[in-house]
Amino acid sequence: MTEILVSENVAGAAMDRLRAEFATRIEPELWRDPAQLIGQLAGVRALIVRNQTRVTRELLAAAPSLEVVGRAGVGLDNVDLAAASEFGVVVALTPEQNSISVAELVIGLILSLARRIPAADRDTRQGGWKRQVFTGIEIHGRRLGVVGLGRIGAATAARARALGMEIVAYDPLLDGDSLRAMECGARLLPLEEVLATSDFVTCHLPETPLTAGLFNAARFALMRPTAYFINTARGGVVDEPALLAALQSGALAGAALDVRATEPPPSDALTAALSGMDNVILLPHIGAFTVEGQRRVVNSICRDVSAVLRGEPAQFYANFPRPIKTGGR
């Protein structure tokens, strides 16, 4: 009988060790068929997912033997944490293991937007040699606005500061005496002021009912027409039609998106319009996908799943370290 079910592509040496310890079934495309996934949960003690599997109340109710959900990543917008806690299921995650990878990608995107690297590359490959057309800007001395100064936001701020950028930030959970802000050299400001005064704005907020659609037409209107917007967090925090309208009207100089509201995004008019713009960079949610970052993520989630199944506490968890047995399970 399967003890661990993996519904997405999670692989590596740590997973191999986990498979040697417990009866494990890996089906990387299972997330695409929720009904089939639910049908395979009988007797399963652990479910390992990334960000595509929807761990709903219905799914949890269909898994009476489930002890732990291992989320190989940081966000929990695809996991019903309240329902998992109600059922006594540990939700393990990897809150810091991919921070460096994402922060380095943001720096790469800032430089790519500033120097128009993707557009210049495409044109040169097609036989062009338009040096003056692709004149860029230096990021030294520019202001970076960080919206969400958690682990990734702070890591991004520290790296940008080392490149000579001025850092301002908005985070509703931090106050002016925040040690995290001081350590990364960020000055905390209201969101409106961050947007209105920054040359680059990078988003590092989770998707919640409060942040869904936070970056809308009104907030893009606050930004400078010379400013760039970067999102490597969650696509749902951005009103994508509003972003497209701001780009098309010249209200924004450009944007870089590693995440979309729907992933993969549909082949619709909005995606086609974004794809056709030289001042837009589109990536397939690769922020955490470095060799080092993925090794840390997989090592951590496999270690915590193994610990829970052996009756030991998880190290990184969102609710509690050990499963809580209830009368209904």
Q: Which residues pair with 118 in a beta bridge?
A: none
Q: Check residue 208 and report its DSSP letter.
A: -
CA–CA distance, 274 with 255 (Å, rounded to integer): 9
- The neighbour count for residue 216, using CB atoms within 10 Å, is 15
Catalytic residue among 234, 260, 296, 303: 234
Structure-token match 């732990």, residue found: 68
* Cα–Cα distance list, 79 to 69, 71, 74, 160, 240 (Å): 9, 8, 11, 32, 23
Q: Which two tokens stand for residue 72?
A: 């190989």
CA–CA distance, 152 with 136 (Å, rounded to integer): 26
pLDDT-based confidence at residue 32 (cuts at 50, 70, 90): very high
pLDDT digits (tens, 9 = 90+) for 161-183: 999 999 999 999 998 788 999 99
Instruction: Give the model's pLDDT for residue 75.
Output: 83
Catalytic residue among 260, 285, 296, 303: 285
Determine if the peptide bond prior to 209 is cis (ω within 30°). Answer: no
Angle between helices 151-162 and 99-115 (to 10 degrees): 50
Mean pLDDT of the chain: 95
Q: Check residue 146 and report its DSSP letter.
A: E
Instruction: Give the model's pLDDT for residue 326.
Output: 63
pLDDT-based confidence at residue 60 (cuts at 50, 70, 90): very high
N residues, the chain: 329
Instruction: Give the model's pLDDT for residue 1.
Output: 78
* 140 counts as catalytic: no
Q: Check residue 79 and report its DSSP letter.
A: B
What is the Rg, in whole angstroms, of the alpha carbon atoms belonging to the chain? 21
Which domains are delineated in the chain? 4-97+291-309 (3.40.50.720), 99-282 (3.40.50.720)
Return the amino acid letter for 301.
I
* 116 counts as catalytic: no
pLDDT digits (tens, 9 = 90+) for 111-139: 999 999 999 999 999 999 999 999 999 99
Q: Is pLDDT of 329 > 60?
A: no
Residues near 156 by beta carbon (within 8 Å), at least 6 away in sequence: 102, 103, 106, 107, 144, 146, 202, 204
Instruction: Give the model's pLDDT for residue 177.
Output: 81
Catalytic residue among 29, 263, 292, 312: 263
Q: Is pLDDT of 328 > 70?
A: no
Q: Is pLDDT of 270 > 80?
A: yes
* 21 counts as catalytic: no
